[in-house]
Amino acid sequence: MKKETIIQLHSNFELKVYKDIDSGTEFWFARDLQTLLGYSQWRSFEAVIEKAKISCKNSGYDPQDHFARTRKMVDLGSGAKREIDDIALTRYACYLIAQNGDPSKDQIAFAQTYFAVQTRKQEIIEKRITEAERLTARRKLTLSEKELSGIIFERLGDGQSFGRIRSKGDKALFGGKSTGQMKNRLKVPKGRPLADFLPTITIKAKDFANEITNFTIKRDNMRTEEGITVQHIKNNREVRNILVKRNIKPEAFHRRRM
């Protein structure tokens, strides 16, 4: 494929991309993509779209999330307009359509690479966003644990109390499994905190339970290890119940690493 052709095709594809105002999701209209990919008949292009939907479903995704039926107005000339059926396609949908198209067409060959590269870029961006969210949650957990440790030491004057209380809270959160058992299960290296190997949602769950405990200790002026322990166990157990009701079991996650 000539360099000039590639440059022109790239420009054509870039000019036809739209962005949803609310979600920021990029999408293409199927009628536009039909022209971009060199299909003169909508009926022929619809057949390719149907194959792409099957590929989408076989990959474990819901086609409705990537192929959204819609209608739009088109110009017929002399100021006349008509409403026609169309489909809003995500980048992934476009990629699947290109994969199911005729590779002998320059437009299809280009689109296969174009959408594959763009999809990979999006995956990298989403991964970085997820990692940033996880790091933020981890820092927040560190702060809530530091506050809890400080409050406990201030009230009890015992540097070992925090470890005992946190361990019992973990046991309540992890359905009876202790911090040590969870570390063994997740193969946490010696000297590393358990939280470094937990998924974001579990990190947030631990942080939430800590925040409740911190608030309650100060509000109720709690000054005994037994009382604080009971409260922390209760908070972790209630947070666990919220997760379990949504079929999320904190002890069942695979090993993660920061």
pLDDT attached to residue 145: 95
Q: Note whether residue 149 is domain-resident.
A: yes
pLDDT attached to residue 55: 92
Q: Which residues contact 255 (CB under 8 A, 6 or more apart)?
A: 186, 187, 197
Q: Residue 174 sits in which domain range? A: 133-252
pLDDT attached to residue 130: 74
E strands in 49-173: 67-77, 80-90
pLDDT attached to residue 168: 95
Does residue 91 sit in the same domain as residue 188?
no
List, for residues 75-109, the tens digit of each pLDDT value: 766 667 778 889 999 888 988 998 898 878 888 88
67 conformational bin, left if phi > 0, alpha if psi -120 to 50, beta if neither: beta
pLDDT attached to residue 83: 81
List, for residues 233-255, the tens digit of each pLDDT value: 999 999 999 999 999 999 986 54
Q: Note whether residue 127 is domain-resident.
A: no
Question: What is the number of domains present in the chain?
Answer: 2
Tell me the β-bridge partners of 72. 84
pLDDT attached to residue 255: 46
Does residue 50 sit in the same domain as residue 141?
no
First-to-last alpha carbon distance for the chain, in angstroms, is 43
**Which residues of the chain have a pLDDT value below 50?**
255-258
pLDDT attached to residue 126: 59
pLDDT attached to residue 258: 46
Q: What average pLDDT does the structure give for the chain?
A: 86
Does residue 44 sit in the same domain as residue 138?
no
Q: Note whether residue 117 is domain-resident.
A: no
pLDDT attached to residue 132: 75
Domain boundary among 101, 125, 148: 101
pLDDT attached to residue 13: 81
